Amino acid sequence: MASQTVFKPWVPDWAVKAVLIFCMLHSMVLLGLYTSNTTYSASFLDVEVEDLQYAMSITYGTFLATILIESRIFKFFPTRNYFIAIYFLAAVTFIISAYTHDYVLFIILRMVEGVLMALPWIPLRLLLLSRFKSKNATIVVFSLTYGTLLIASPFIMNIVVWLLENYDWKYMAYGSAFFQFLCVALVLITFNGHRFHKKTPLYQVDWASFVLVHTAILCGAFVLVYGEKKYWFQSSQIVLASALTAVSSGLFLVRQLLVKRPCFDLKVFRYANLRTGLVLFVLFYISRASLNICHTTMSKVWNWEPVRVANIQYINALGDLIGIFIAAILLSRAVATRYIFILGFSLMAIYHLWFTFLFVPDVTLQDIMIPYLLQGIAVGILFVPLVLFTVSAVPAQLAPFSGTVGVTGRFWGSTIGFCLMQNAQVFLEQKHYSKFSETIVAERPEIQEQVNGYIQKFQSKGFSLDESAKLAMQQITSNLRKQGTLLSNMEIFTAIGLGLVVLVVLLIFNRHLRQSFDIFKNKIWGS
- Alpha-carbon Rg for the chain, nearest whole angstrom, is 25
pLDDT for 515 equals 47
In angstroms, the Cα distances linking 49 to 36, 42, 189, 298 are 12, 6, 41, 17
Cβ contact 514:277 at 8 Å: no
What single DSSP character describes residue 3?
A: G
* Residue 312 main-chain phi, psi, to 5 deg: -65, -30
Helices (H) and strands (E) in the chain, counts: 19, 0
pLDDT for 455 equals 66
What single DSSP character describes residue 464?
A: -
CA–CA dist 56, 36 (Å, integer): 11
Cβ contact 180:94 at 8 Å: yes
Contacts of 3 (CB under 8 A, 6+ apart): 126, 127, 130, 196
pLDDT for 104 equals 84
Vertex 122 angle, CA 326 and 259, to 5° = 125
Query: What does pTM read for this prediction?
Result: 0.83
Which has the closest alpha carbon to 141: 521, 519, 515? 519
- Coil vs helix vs strand at 191: strand
* Residue 191 main-chain phi, psi, to 5 deg: -95, 150
Q: Which amino acid is at 447?
A: I
CA–CA dist 19, 40 (Å, integer): 32
Sign of CA dihedral 407, 413, 416, 422: negative
pLDDT for 216 equals 94
Contacts of 301 (CB under 8 A, 6+ apart): 361, 482, 485, 486
Cβ contact 226:50 at 8 Å: yes
CA–CA dist 136, 141 (Å, integer): 9
- What are the 10-residue block averages of pLDDT along the chain, 527 residues in total? 68 86 76 58 67 84 87 82 90 85 84 87 82 72 76 71 69 81 90 78 79 92 88 89 94 88 83 85 89 84 80 87 90 84 94 91 87 92 86 77 83 87 84 70 60 66 67 70 85 94 89 52 46
Q: Give the bridge partners for 7, in sequence order.
A: 191
pLDDT for 1 equals 42
Cβ contact 371:358 at 8 Å: yes
CA–CA dist 450, 332 (Å, integer): 61
CA–CA dist 170, 164 (Å, integer): 9
Q: Which amino acid is at 360?
A: V
CA–CA dist 228, 518 (Å, integer): 42
pLDDT for 217 equals 92
* Residue 469 main-chain phi, psi, to 5 deg: -65, -40
What single DSSP character describes residue 408?
A: H
Which has the closest alpha carbon to 85: 57, 123, 55, 130? 123
* Residue 511 main-chain phi, psi, to 5 deg: -90, -5
Q: 3-state DSSP: the chain helix, strand, coil percent, rounded to 5?
A: 80, 0, 20
pLDDT for 519 equals 47
Neighbours of 258 (CB within 10 A): 8
Residue 309: burial class (beta carbons within 10 Å; 0-12, 13-18, 19+): buried
Cβ contact 266:460 at 8 Å: no
CA–CA dist 484, 478 (Å, integer): 10
In angstroms, the Cα distances linking 273 to 3, 276, 317, 393 are 32, 5, 29, 6
CA–CA dist 226, 74 (Å, integer): 35
Cβ contact 482:304 at 8 Å: no
